[in-house]
Amino acid sequence: MHTPLPIRSSNFSAWYNELVVRADLAENAPVRGCMIIKPYGYAIWEKLQNILDKAFKETGHVNGYFPLLIPKSFLSREASHVEGFAKECAVVTHYRLKIAENGRDIVVDPAAQLEEELIVRPTSEAIIWSTYKNWIQSYRDLPILLNQWCNVVRWEMRPRLFLRTTEFLWQEGHTAHATQTEAEAEALQMLHLYEGIIRDYIAIPVIKGIKTAHERFAGAEMTYTIEVLLQDGKALQLGTSHYLGQRFAKAFDVTFTNQAGLREYVWGTSWGITTRLMGALIMMHSDDDGLVLPPKIAPIQVVIIPIYKTEAERSLVVAQMSLLQAVLITKGISVKLDDRDTRKPGYKFAEYEQKGVPIRIVLGPTDLQNKTVELARRDTKEKITIAMDGLVEQVMGWLEEIQENLYRRALALQQQHTLFVEDYTTFKTLMAGKGGFLFAHWDGTTATEEKIKAETKATIRCIPLDGEEERGSCIYSGKPSKRRVVFARAY
């Protein structure tokens, strides 16, 4: 179990794949492209869910649930929407199995073919806007601020645990508004909300921006995105928030009577964040020894491991540790005491290191005599021995420091690999090498965007929201440009 991981610098991809499995986060399912999220991985996802859900509710959103199966014709109502998703839809065509004529095999019952095929939802705009038509008559029924937590399926040809899976878990917000201004504000609000949580809890700095028309969500007027730069110089899109304008309202004929008594189409947004967040978290902070978790989202913040030889020593050490555990728990710290006697301490050290537990406490008979404990930090590998009565303070201080240190490290990495590039030769060299966020001028055309992608594998991650106007010329075409966009090779 605890053989070393591949080294990041020599094979980042193998390192990631191995780490996800070894840290007990997830594994590949028997169905290609699908994953099994193991309890330790799921516990992190639950923490993220709780944090997000609380923030959604504080901003006035409520949860609901819409069906998994969507009639094919619904998906087709918004033209660019179906175009965007048609290529990756799982299709239900039958509703029954039966025993084959050989009396043994189980086969699809041809008599149970559906009149209209059902699509396993790749996203729920179609089914939700078809419902909003019945829910909305007047401005009094607006806004609708709805969210749902669920699974979606998008058939994936090059799957990767957490980053890209055929089935993934997510939340999808779908809001309906009486005015364009309100819908635009909602889409931006959710983008900022995502950014704040990713920064404050997952210790990841991001760039916020607008997707180009080419990269926009299928059915949106405008897609806002949050982009993160990972240790290998590649970017990952972490969350998107779409201003839908009146497109889905028009596709599903959703109108309302405004305060002036006139019929108008409803304005919409949608926004979502997925289990991909887990991938970012892992790739951002972890090292060659395994996972490194920010304390605020670690299911276990502190692990306590006893050292003993005799059974008598064991009971003394474990009794003292239970006391320490109880004290830490009263401070709101989540502590695991691992007193299994089927595993040696060294095995446990390696296990919790691989699982990224922020702080390890070790206690042995000598410590009992000296009234000391040994503490180790997962992020810096620092190890200290302190007096037992300073434990709570030390642990609380370290938890805070680790959280800050991980953010600082991630920010330094992002800054180090964020470069302003003025010419295409440098651009190509950088993209072929260390990658990074390259801020460059672009002429605004999809043609140029596609050519750059074909030649360098880099895509425009976004037009940054914080960017300033600046005259320049496109690195590819030389045509005039008013602002820089962010390029990167991405997952």
Ranges of H-type helices in 172-256: 180-200, 247-251
Name the residue among 476, 380, 478 with its Cα closest to residue 431. 476
Considering the complex, what minimum distance in angstroms separates the CB of residue 454 from a copy of itself? 24
Q: Alpha helix (H) ranges present in 87-179? A: 125-135
Q: Using the rule CB under 8 A, which residue among 35, 220, 277, 303 binds a copy of itself?
A: 35
Distance CA 295, CA 196 (A): 16
The residue with tokens 């320490």 is 324
- Distance (Å, whole) CA 189 – CA 441: 28
> At closest approach, how far in Å is the CB of 261 from a copy of itself?
14
Among 46, 253, 450, 470, binds a copy of itself (CB under 8 A): 46
Q: Pick the closer one to a copy of itself by CB: 117 or 443.
A: 117
The alpha carbon of residue 363 and the mean position of all alpha carbons in its chain are separated, in whole angstroms, by 36
Out of 7, 13, 54, 140, the only residue in the binding site for a copy of itself (CB under 8 A) is 140
Cβ–Cβ contacts within 10 Å for residue 460, how many? 22
Smallest distance from a copy of itself to CB 252, Å: 11
For residue 263, the SS3 value is strand
Rank residues 52 and 485 by Cβ distance to a copy of itself and give the closer one. Answer: 52
CB of 435 to a copy of itself, least distance (A): 32
Provide, rounded to whole angstroms, the least separation between the CB of residue 83 and a copy of itself: 8
| Shortest distance (Å) from residue 396 CB to a copy of itself | 24
CB nearer a copy of itself, residue 27 or residue 382: 27
Whether the Cβ atoms of residue 136 and residue 249 lie closer than 8 Å to each other: no
Task: Identify which of residues 85 and 407 has a Cβ nearer to a copy of itself in the complex.
Answer: 85
Q: Return the number of the residue (106 or 262) whose C-beta is nearest a copy of itself.
A: 106
Footprint of a copy of itself on 58-117 (CB under 8 A)? 62-72, 74-76, 82, 86-99, 105-106, 108, 117
CB of 269 to a copy of itself, least distance (A): 17
Residue 344 within binding range of a copy of itself, rule CB under 8 A: no
Within 302-321, which residues bind a copy of itself (CB under 8 A)? none
Pairing of strands 91-94, 113-120: antiparallel
Sign of CA dihedral 162, 165, 170, 176: positive
**CA 146 – CA 399 distance, rounded (Å):** 35
Of 15, 19, 22, 42, the one binding a copy of itself by CB under 8 A: 42
Q: How far is the CB of 85 from a copy of itself (least distance, A)?
A: 8
B/e letters for 108-118, b = 16+ CB within 10 Å, e = fewer, are eeeeeeeeebb
Pure H helices in 170-266:
180-200, 247-251
How many angstroms separate the CA atoms of 193 and 60, rounded?
13
Our finding on whether 398 is near a copy of itself (CB under 8 A) is no
How do beta strands 437-441 and 418-420 pair?
Answer: parallel
Q: Could you tell me the smallest distance in angstroms from the CB atom of residue 169 to a copy of itself?
A: 7
What is the rounded CA–CA span in Å between residue 299 and residue 53?
A: 17
Distance of alpha carbon 488 from alpha carbon 129, whole angstroms: 34
**Amino acid identity of 173?**
G
Closer to a copy of itself by CB, 71 or 472: give it: 71
Find the shortest distance in angstroms from Cβ 371 to a copy of itself: 33
Q: Which residues, numbered 189-208, are part of the site for a copy of itself (CB under 8 A)? A: none
Shortest reach from residue 105's CB to a copy of itself, in Å: 8
| The pair of three-digit structure tokens given for residue 275, joined into one six-digit string | 């289990």
Closer to a copy of itself by Cβ: residue 348 or 461: 348
From the CB of residue 139, how many other CB atoms can be counted at a distance below 10 Å? 18
Of 111 and 262, the one with the shorter C-beta distance to a copy of itself is 111
Stretch that binds a copy of itself, among 127-135, 318-326, 362-370, 470-478 (CB under 8 A): 127-135
Specify the stretch interacting with a copy of itself by CB under 8 A; choose among 42-50, 280-288, 379-387, 450-458. 42-50
Q: In angstroms, what is the minimal distance from the CB of 325 to a copy of itself?
A: 17
39 touches a copy of itself (CB under 8 A): yes
Whichever of 113 and 385 has its CB closer to a copy of itself, that residue is 113
Q: Is 351 left (phi over 0), alpha (psi -120 to 50) or beta?
A: alpha
Contacts (CB under 8 A) with a copy of itself, residues 150-179: 150-151, 153, 155, 166-167, 169
Using DSSP, state whether 476 is helix, strand or coil: coil
- 53 and 137 Cβ atoms separated by less than 8 Å: no
Nearer to a copy of itself, 15 or 139 (CB): 139
What one-letter code names the amino acid at 408?
Answer: R
342 binds a copy of itself (CB under 8 A): yes
Q: How are beta strands 335-337 and 302-306 bridged, if at all?
A: parallel
For a copy of itself, the binding residue among 5, 44, 118, 293 (CB under 8 A) is: 118
Count of residues interacting with a copy of itself (CB under 8 A): 64
To which H or E segment does residue 415 belong? helix 391-416
DSSP-H helix ranges across 123-179: 125-135
- Residues of this chain that interact with a copy of itself (CB under 8 A) are 27, 29-31, 34-39, 41-43, 45-46, 62-72, 74-76, 82, 86-99, 105-106, 108, 117-120, 127, 130-131, 140, 146, 150-151, 153, 155, 166-167, 169, 342
